[in-house]
Amino acid sequence: MDSVENELELESSNSQNQYLLFMVGGVLYAIESLRAQEIVEYSGITKVPMMNSFVKGVTNIRGNIVPVVDLLDRFDLGKTNISDKTSIIVIQYKSMQIGVIIDEVYEVDSIDPSNIKKAPEFGSKIDARFIKCMGKYNKEYIAILNTDTILNIDELSQLCI
């Protein structure tokens, strides 16, 4: 077993193998459940001028101003169609909270560390750097996302001129 798989297994064990599964653009994805601080209903977002298209703006969540990213747009696959199931996952990234818009929450479930494999560098609809690893869930592999890359503050804060 190579060091990447050992590292993935160790990280999986540390998070007690729990993952938040959710739909984006009709595809099932996961993040480590400990990364998600909370899930809130989609609510009004105040636009911020000159930001990347995937940064939709900011919203007020429990008195905190939280920047919000459209995950589908971040993946360069279009824009999320807002419905009554649309939610925002609030993720702690370094010292700040960032919300990501998803189509709907699927569930929180465990994935056995033996079912977590290194992600391929090609063959996915989304940029490989956004995928941390692949997890076998209900007999199919799903992408476990790399929230540190997706929420990279340097990329998110770049102005569009």
C-alpha span between 55 and 52 (Å, rounded): 6
pLDDT for position 9: 47
Contact 52, 101 (CB under 8 A): no
Percentage of residues in the chain having pLDDT higher than 90 = 70
CATH class of 3-156: mainly beta
Looking at per-residue confidence, does 63 or 159 come out higher?
Answer: 63
Burial environment of residue 109 by CB neighbours within 10 A (0 to 12, 13 to 18, 19 or more): middle
Predicted structure pTM score: 0.84
pLDDT for position 94: 87
Which residue ranges make up each domain of the chain? 3-156
